[in-house]
Structure 1
Amino acid sequence: MAGLAATGTSAVGAGCGELGTTLGDGSESDPQVTCAVESVFPADTVKTALYEHGGLSQDVDVTFRVFDAYAGPVMSDFADELNRSSDAADLLVLRDSWLQRFHSTGSLTNLTERLPERVLTPIESECFWAASRSGRAQGTGDRYGIPLRVEMRVILYRRDLASAAGYDPAGANWGNEPLSWERWSHVVADTLANSGVKYGFTSPLGAYRSLVYGPFYEALSTWGGAYFGDPTTTLLGPAGERPVTVAEDAGIDAVRMLRRFLHGESFDGFGSFAGDVVPAAALDWNVDDVRETISRDEAVAHHIWTSALTDSGVKDVDVTADRFGVTPTPYGVRPQEGSYPRTDGTMSPLVSRQVIVNPNSERQSAITRVLQAMTSPGFQQRLLRTEGWLPPRKDVFDSAAASETLGGYAQTLRLVGEHALPAPYTPVWSDQIRPIATHVNAILARERSPRAGLESLAAELQRIEQNA
């Protein structure tokens, strides 16, 4: 396995500092790098940004091998690239959920062992924890991916309607000081009653993966709970060795709160929360349905992925206009009061695209130089401006590019990223999504009780874990 092995006389185990002197020395006779991407990837824009804003030397020739994201299983195409002995792509840009699957088959290069400190250090010190953690392998903690872009979840709300209902979002600093779920429920209820719009708070609560990655994950975490115990140690596995904790008290509080929001039900501890603020129709909704309600301007607020702020998925409505505002997901328990680290206060799921290195590539120096350009602030600022890609680097949110592209949302998104968690990816996660979606949706639809429904879900997740 060639990977990014050191050239010359340096041994692979000599340490990152010594490897850094060989991987980036520019001594290769063929400084060319091929990167495998999906067809939706803006290859020309990325290539220009690498040279003009990332500082990549023109003597490194970057080309892209594009796979049609709509024609077939791109993951299989990428697996073929990793297994090819010749003419294989050197780098691959893939979804963070795929990284763990490829790692489980031994298909990836260990970047902790193979990259110099000048590339690794910014990822650890400057990137959001969740983006950095998504590039690490389950169990070992070694790095196999470099974060390229991220997406998170926030609440988009009608600032003008909230103000008309007597609230002061700017004075209360809603953008940077998360509200409690109780307070938020009354904001929605009061604004809905005062405004006459169709819906209060829209959220994708249908039995789809969007429920698993979004509203339930957020409710569970902001009440101090987790799918699989301590996210800082067991989030990414190993599968079969991590506890299943979804049915603990925090999970029960999460679904009780959501049922209060949907149906106005009374549960101990939630009587002071406003009810009937989420439409019952949301029990059949996915992300696209929520975007449609934004396009029709039908609600007080929406729980959304940040792509709705930066791409064309929302039609006919300028969500950056002054009449809109963005606030982080509210909290159930305050910081330091959760059952596990990073599961209290506000929380957002974070998904990312990661860049991995083909272990069969022998273009060590050129690869290192490309990855260094991709992790630079200038490169990430350019892609934020041109493509709306949210950067994994925290400091980019303080830049002029962020102010120009995101306006007043920039600092809110930085705070959201700092409190984000990746999904609990393992090779069995894809088998666990459907049971979570169906069980939680049934609980929210009042077909199962909160405790019995979550205990049944926990048993099913445990069975899948044990068969990993």
Structure 2
Amino acid sequence: MSEDSTRNGVSRRQYLAATGAVGAAGLAGCSGGGDGGDGGTTAGSSGDGEIGGTVTVFSGPQFVDAGFPEVLHEAGVPDSITIEMTRPPQDTGSKQQQLRTAINAEESDPDLVLTDNGWTLPFIVRGDLVNLEEEMDDEFISRVREEGVQSMINTGTHPETGDLYSVPVFPDFPTITYRKDLLRNAGYGESDFNTWRGDPPTWGEFSQIVSEAMDGADVDYGHLWQGNNYAGLACCTFNEYLTSMGGAFFGGQDNLFGPIGDRPVTLDTEESIDGIEAAVDTIHGTGSAPMDIEGVSPQEVAGWSEPDTKSLFEDGSAVTQRNWTYSIGGALTAFEETDMELGVMPLPQGPNGSWHAQGGWIMSMNPYTDNMASAKEVIKAWWEDSVLEYQFDTANFMPPKPELYSYVEQSDTYGPYFEALQYSAENLIPRPTTSVWPNQRSIVATEVNAALRQEKSPQEAASAMQEQISAVEEQSG
């Protein structure tokens, strides 16, 4: 087998190109004790200062109690620095608001924060994060630009100056995890599973498969996904339904990132309404979508986000789940020593194909940190291969360096699903991340969620989005 082929016959180079060359606002160290800085200070910060003290990292539950401080010290962070991982809110919108509140109050903690690729750019444009290009040495910045997933680097780059403000931590995209054992009982087999990895079923076919697997199975739910009124519905799950059905926020991908006020708003087109109808039919089976989609999702998904569906799927309560790549490792661990068998496929196809929301998290620095020198040491160490591999092994987060995807392919956990991961990575849809997106995504989430709860018809929700988002465009253009 050649170095550039996989055990499934899939080109690794194709996969790496897909994850590293997605659109401009998509996903997206050295050892020793020197300060590594070559520039001035950021307003509100105390400058480089002495190496030492405590660096707080606004990270997440996967990083708490997982040994990350020790691994970062082994990768070069001086022993004089204490690293404290904090546990922020679970959902991305709450994390954004908590960071917004801390910066508005000019709080020095946290020193470092993992920011969602979907809402980092507005912080950058407002000057609410440290310009790493000015504060860190040129060699490190060059390494990040050369080695990192390009779409994530673009996410952490100022759109006008081109300066780097954030360093990629992990890219992400969703897949469908499913119970092979239940599908076998429904008459499906390895030939089906193999086909779906590179040619997923349509939404209609998928709903029929889930429905058949539910019959006679000891499960409470069919297909789980995230339909709560929160940022993830607008940027991700609805975006996937919308794009697969041929709809678009602003007429197509070319307009996702502007120009604000000078692009068409297309949320009330027939195809965009189809996207809402498909999501509604997945829950209610009303038959309004252009393809026959059975109601295989519980009404509760309109109130659920990622942690909710992840835990339910892992305890065996559902046939399938839409979630991010880290959920694959979680399911495998949960299924150990049980009769449950895991399968992975890309998201189902609509008339416009199978599309997956482009996600991921990047490392940014609080402009009011009072320990910049030590925070920079943590950033540099986090970019070392050893830390990123440990991150993958312990938290199931994909490495932000394309060269490390061979490490993913060779893993016992993710290697068997490499073909499905490649397909998903090749079919990514970014969110329309601009300075007005935070307001627009609230509108989208509220209206789509109302349709999911059948408080509004898909047509009514689409009209409301069209009117409100057009107003935002006009006021901000």
What TM-score does the superposition give when structure 2 sets the normalisation length? 0.71
Check whether the contact 2:256–2:431 (CA below 8 A) recurs between aligned residues.
no
Q: CA deviation at 1:146?
A: 0.9
- 1:458 & 1:4 partners in 2: Cα distance? 49
- 1:381 & 1:401 partners in 2: Cα distance? 12
Tell me which of 374, 383, 386 is aligned to 1:378: 386
The alignment of Structure 1 onto Structure 2 pairs a total of residues equal to: 427
Are the structure 2 counterparts of residues 239 and 330 from structure 1 closer, same or farther at C-alpha, using a change threshold of 3 Å?
same
Q: CA deviation at 1:324?
A: 1.5
Q: CA deviation at 1:457?
A: 0.8
Q: CA deviation at 1:143?
A: 3.1
- 1:96 & 1:464 partners in 2: Cα distance? 22
Q: CA deviation at 1:103?
A: 1.9
Q: Which residue of 1 aligns with 2:58?
A: 38
Q: CA deviation at 1:326?
A: 1.5
Tell me which of 178, 191, 210 is aligned to 1:157: 178
Superposed counterparts of 1:204-219, under 5 Å: 204-219=226-241
Q: CA deviation at 1:467?
A: 4.0
3-state DSSP of counterpart to 1:183: helix
AA at the equivalent of 2:58: E
- 2:154 & 2:246 partners in 1: Cα distance? 20
Q: CA deviation at 1:381?
A: 0.6
For the pair 1:103 / 2:111, whether they are aligned, the reply is no
Superposed CA offset, 1:281-334 (max 9, x none): 43444445434532552322122234434459x996559986121112122245
Q: CA deviation at 1:279?
A: 3.1
- 1:274 & 1:239 partners in 2: Cα distance? 35
Superposed CA RMSD: 4.4
For the pair 1:293 / 2:312, whether they are aligned, the reply is yes
Are the structure 2 counterparts of residues 246 and 141 from structure 1 closer, same or farther at C-alpha, using a change threshold of 3 Å?
farther
Are the structure 2 counterparts of residues 182 and 463 from structure 1 closer, same or farther at C-alpha, using a change threshold of 3 Å?
same
Tell me which of 396, 404, 416 is aligned to 1:396: 404
Q: CA deviation at 1:412?
A: 3.5
Superposed counterparts of 1:221-260, under 5 Å: 221-231=243-253, 234-235=256-257, 240=261, 243-260=264-281
Q: CA deviation at 1:216?
A: 1.0
3-state DSSP of counterpart to 2:67: helix
- 1:129 & 1:4 partners in 2: Cα distance? 24
For the pair 1:182 / 2:204, whether they are aligned, the reply is yes
For the pair 1:431 / 2:439, whether they are aligned, the reply is yes
Check whether the contact 2:117–2:360 (CA below 8 A) recurs between aligned residues.
yes
Superposed CA offset, 1:124-143 (max 9, x none): 56544553343233566653
Check whether the contact 1:35–1:92 (CA below 8 A) recurs between aligned residues.
no
- 2:438 & 2:262 partners in 1: Cα distance? 17
- 2:52 & 2:270 partners in 1: Cα distance? 54
- 1:30 & 1:346 partners in 2: Cα distance? 48
Percent of matched pairs sharing the same residue? 24
Superposed CA offset, 1:178-233 (max 9, x none): 33323323322332346464432222334344432432121112234433455466
Q: Which residue of 1 aligns with 2:43?
A: none
Superposed counterparts of 1:30-69, under 5 Å: 35-38=55-58, 40=60, 41-42=63-64, 45-52=67-74, 54=75, 56=76, 62-64=81-83, 69=88
3-state DSSP of counterpart to 1:220: helix
Q: Which residue of 1 aligns with 2:99?
A: 75
Comparing 318-327 and 428-437, the one that deviates more: 318-327
Check whether the contact 2:57–2:83 (CA below 8 A) recurs between aligned residues.
yes
Check whether the contact 2:241–2:275 (CA below 8 A) recurs between aligned residues.
yes
Check whether the contact 2:57–2:110 (CA below 8 A) recurs between aligned residues.
no
Superposed CA offset, 1:129-172 (max 9, x none): 55334323356665321111244322111111222322235553
For the pair 1:172 / 2:190, whether they are aligned, the reply is no
- 1:319 & 1:80 partners in 2: Cα distance? 49
Are the structure 2 counterparts of residues 49 and 59 from structure 1 closer, same or farther at C-alpha, using a change threshold of 3 Å?
closer
- 1:363 & 1:374 partners in 2: Cα distance? 15
Are the structure 2 counterparts of residues 444 and 112 from structure 1 closer, same or farther at C-alpha, using a change threshold of 3 Å?
same
Tell me which of 401, 424, 430 is aligned to 1:416: 424
Are the structure 2 counterparts of residues 196 and 390 from structure 1 closer, same or farther at C-alpha, using a change threshold of 3 Å?
same
Are the structure 2 counterparts of residues 181 and 123 from structure 1 closer, same or farther at C-alpha, using a change threshold of 3 Å?
farther
Check whether the contact 1:207–1:438 (CA below 8 A) recurs between aligned residues.
yes
- 2:81 & 2:259 partners in 1: Cα distance? 36
Are the structure 2 counterparts of residues 103 and 262 from structure 1 closer, same or farther at C-alpha, using a change threshold of 3 Å?
same
- 1:367 & 1:241 partners in 2: Cα distance? 40
Q: Which residue of 1 aligns with 2:361?
A: 352
AA at the equivalent of 1:200: G
3-state DSSP of counterpart to 2:411: helix
Are the structure 2 counterparts of residues 65 and 194 from structure 1 closer, same or farther at C-alpha, using a change threshold of 3 Å?
closer
3-state DSSP of counterpart to 2:57: strand
- 1:428 & 1:374 partners in 2: Cα distance? 31
Tell me which of 329, 334, 344 is aligned to 1:326: 344
3-state DSSP of counterpart to 2:194: coil
Are the structure 2 counterparts of residues 69 and 418 from structure 1 closer, same or farther at C-alpha, using a change threshold of 3 Å?
same
For the pair 1:454 / 2:475, whether they are aligned, the reply is no
Unaligned runs of 5+ in 1: 9-27, 335-343
Superposed CA offset, 1:42-88 (max 9, x none): 48833433354x5x3x669654366674799741575279787xxx9
For the pair 1:276 / 2:295, whether they are aligned, the reply is yes
Comparing 383-392 and 42-51, the one that deviates more: 42-51
- 1:141 & 1:255 partners in 2: Cα distance? 36
AA at the equivalent of 1:136: T
Q: Which residue of 2 aligns with 1:143?
A: 164
